Amino acid sequence: MANIAEVIKYEGDNSTFIWKHPAEDFNSLTQLIVHESQEAIFFLNGEALDLFGPGRHTLETQNIPKIGKLLNRVTGDETPFHAEVYFINKTEQMAIKWGTDSKVQYIEPTYGFPISIGACGEMSLRAEDSRKLLLKLVGTEEFLTQQRLAGFFRAFLMTRVKTYVAQVMKANAINIFEIDENLTLFSESIKKLLVADFSDYGISLESFFVTGVLKPDGERQYEQFKELHFRQYADIAEAKLRQQTDLIYAQTEAQKLIIDSQAQAQKRAQEGYTYAQERGFDVAEKVAQNEAVGEFTNLGVGFGTMAGVGGAVGGMVGGMMNDAVTNVKETQNKPDDMEAFKVKIEKLTMMKDANLITEEEFNSMKKGLLSSIL
């Protein structure tokens, strides 16, 4: 006995965009079950009539049991009321791979040399306009899978993506050696250009990713510019590092000098004298230790000059000057010569430079030395 009513529901998988139910020419009052994230299109006599959303629906097919059998005899046991149902999967289909079948030729924007590159990645699609997708791509086919859809769009993608890759790189001046760090910008820009192309077929381009760019590694010209690009940044980085190292070294030496100076200043403060006094002491000590020191007593230099150095150091300098005068007295009867005169002049000059004697005293002493050898 023929079924008065049938139940029609989706029996495909999640990787299918469109699936045609195998039951045809079903009776009127047949129940259509449509799940969430699905739509169903009912065809009667070759015409797409109704689009059904999620829920249970009753189909009116004009096929009535018993009466239908009588009508079928006239047409050779085929019903004159042909009925079909297509299910459209509205879920987002992800991880659909794409790739260029050949490399794109374009002029690299930074260095201006011609280059060939390829690209590959993944995309996710969703059936947006069920009627448009079914009528423009499926027709009378029984199903449309991810793989079949990718096959339909392969030539279309190759043409569009190649053109868009070159356009995006030129518009954004993307350096071939820096393209990997711009893959997000690259992907988003190409997706915007492709959205309208997919929409014409009732497909929504949910996401589009460029996951890899195939560079012409091994080509002589490309390798030369890659080396040039590397050296450009390597030399700058090396120069900056050297500059920082030199600066750290200079700062270290300056800090060492400051610490040493502070230590010496603390030592002088503890011993009760200043830097100027220390310098005067050094000069006086050198003068006193040299033989045949200048004729200070004869030249009229008072010990007040040395004592003026101040404090304990002044006393030490004064004592040294007494020794020097005594030494002069012991050696004043010795014959003098030009070499001894030069030594005395140098000593006087040292005392003047150390501010131990004035310019007038220096001239007076020098005059006395000149008169002693004439």
Q: State pLDDT tens for residues 212-222.
A: 888 877 777 77
Task: Give SS3 for 83.
Answer: strand
Beta bridge partners of 38: 89
**Six token digits for residue 345:** 């002049």
Mean pLDDT over 66-89 rounds to 61
Return the closest-CA partner of residue 286 out of 317, 245, 329: 317
Statement to judge: residues 106 and 212 lie in one domain: yes
230-248: per-residue pLDDT in tens? 777 766 767 777 788 888 8
Position of tokens 């002693």?
Answer: 372
Q: Do 80 and 144 fall within a single domain?
A: no
74 and 148 both lie in a single domain: no
> What is the average pLDDT across 148-174?
83
Closest to 132 in 3D by CA, of 24, 14, 39: 39
Residue 251 in any domain: the answer is no
Residues 137 and 47 grouped into a single domain: no
Cβ atoms of 310 and 279 closer than 8 Å: no
126: helix, coil or strand? strand
Crossing angle of helices 338-353 and 359-373, rounded to 10°: 170
Tell me if 1 is assigned to some domain: no
Distance CA 298, CA 365 (A): 9
> Which of 34, 66, 89 represents a domain boundary (last residue)?
89
Are 75 and 145 contained in the same domain?
no
Based on the fold, state whether residues 324 and 297 are members of the same structural domain: yes
Helix axes 146-171, 183-199, angle to 10 degrees: 130
Beta bridge partners of 47: 44
Asked whether residue 123 falls in the same domain as residue 28, the answer is no
pLDDT greater at residue 326 or residue 185: 185
Domain-embedded: residue 267: no
Give the model's pLDDT for residue 312: 45
Residue 315 placed within a domain:
yes
Same domain, 56 and 102: no
Residue 309 within any structural domain of the chain: yes
Owning domain of residue 35? 7-89
Same domain, 162 and 198: yes
- CB-based burial, 11-48: b 16+ in 10 Å, e otherwise: ebeeebbbbbbeeeebbbebebebeeebbbbbbbeeee
| Residue at 249 is within a domain | no
pTM value is 0.54
Q: Which residues pair with 125 in a beta bridge?
A: 93, 205
Mean pLDDT value across residues 329-354: 68
Region class of 29: left (phi > 0), else alpha (psi between -120 and 50), else beta: left
**Both 137 and 34 in a single domain?**
no
Q: Whole-angstrom Cα distance, residue 82 to residue 107?
A: 58
Whether residue 244 is contained in a domain is answered as: no
28 plus 105 within the same structural domain: no
If one counts every other C-beta atom within 10 angstroms of the C-beta of residue 159, the result is: 11
Q: Which pLDDT does position 55 carry in this prediction?
A: 94
The pLDDT value given to residue 306: 45
Q: What is the pLDDT of residue 67?
A: 40
200 in the same domain as 126? yes
Q: How many domains does the chain have?
A: 3
The CATH number of residue 133's host domain is 3.30.479.30
DSSP codes joined into one string, 297-333 = HHHT--THHHHTT-HHHHHHHHHHHHHHHHHHHHHTT
252 found inside a domain: no
pLDDT at 303 > cutoff 50: no
From 39, 60, 89, the end of a domain falls on: 89
Q: Is the pLDDT of residue 2 over 50?
A: no
Confidence of residue 188 (pLDDT cuts 50, 70, 90): very high
